[in-house]
Chain A
Amino acid sequence: EVQLVESGGGLVQPGGSLRLSCAASGITFSTFWMHWVRQAPGKGLVWVSRINSDGSSTSYADSVKGRFTISRDNAKNTLYLQMNSLRAEDTAVYYCARQWEPMFDYWGQGTLVTVSS
Chain B
Amino acid sequence: NFILTQPHSVSESPGKTVTISCTGSSGSIASNYVQWYQQRPGSAPTTVIYEDNQRPSGVPDRFSGSIDSSSNSASLTISGLKTEDEADYYCQSYAGSNREVFGGGTKLTVL
A102-B33, A102-B35, A104-B35 known; 5 new pairs, CB 8 Å cut-off, are: A45-B102, A102-B50, A102-B94, A104-B92, A109-B44
**What is the 8 Å Cβ interface bit string for chain B, positions 80-111, against chain A (1 contact, 0 not)?**
00000000101011110111111111000000
A101 touches B102 (CB 8 A): no
Chosen A-B contacts, 24 in total, with CB atoms closer than 8 Å, are A37-B102, A44-B88, A44-B90, A44-B104, A45-B90, A45-B92, A47-B92, A50-B99, A59-B98, A61-B99, A62-B1, A101-B33, A102-B32, A102-B33, A103-B33, A103-B50, A103-B92, A104-B37, A104-B47, A105-B50, A107-B44, A107-B46, A108-B44, A110-B44
Min distance, Cβ B79 to any Cβ of chain A, angstroms: 22
Within 8 A of B (CB), among A53-111: 57, 59, 61-62, 95, 101-105, 107-110
* Bound: A111/B104 CA distance, A: 21
Chief secondary structure at chain B's binding surface: strand
Interface residues of A (CB under 8 A from B): 35, 37, 44-47, 50, 57, 59, 61-62, 95, 101-105, 107-110
Chain B, interface residues (CB within 8 Å), range: 20 to 34
Interface residues of B (CB under 8 A from A): 1, 32-33, 35, 37, 39, 44-47, 50-51, 56, 88, 90, 92-95, 97-105
Residues of chain A contacted by B100 (CB below 8 angstroms): 35, 47, 50
Q: Which of A59, A105, A108, A110 is in CB contact (< 8 Å) with B99? A: A59
B44 touches A47 (CB 8 A): no
Q: Which of B32, B50, B102, B104 is in CB contact (< 8 Å) with A47? A: B102
Interface centre among B51, B100, B103 (most CB of A within 10 A): B100
Residue of B with least CB distance to A109 = B44
* Bound: A104/B45 CA distance, A: 9
Q: Which of A46, A59, A108 is in CB contact (< 8 Å) with B102? A: A46
A47 touches B51 (CB 8 A): no
Q: Which of B1, B47, B88, B95 is in CB contact (< 8 Å) with A103? A: B47
Known: A44-B90, A45-B37, A45-B90. A105 touches B101 (CB 8 A): no
Min distance, Cβ B31 to any Cβ of chain A, angstroms: 12
Residues of chain A contacted by B94 (CB below 8 angstroms): 102
